[in-house]
Amino acid sequence: VPGLKNGMDYVKLGDSDLVVSNVCMGTMTFGEQNTLEEGVEQLTKAFDEYGINFLDTAEMYPVPTKPETQGATDATVAAFLKTRKR
């Protein structure tokens, strides 16, 4: 991963075949403290420059919970994923 001197460490997730970064990125500010564009930029940097591939998401995000921001974190993650090759 460019930008990492020693690289990211990865571990197998439980008994699954999934391999995830040792660092998990939280998304609870996306849609409240961060705009959609800022969240996509942060996710792009985390994945491309730091090798993070593990996200913490929850149906109650963003925090604090408000009806007008419900789903904003999901929309940010979705917008980011749409920029990625599968």
Active site residues: 61
Q: CB–CB of 78/47 below 8 Å?
A: no
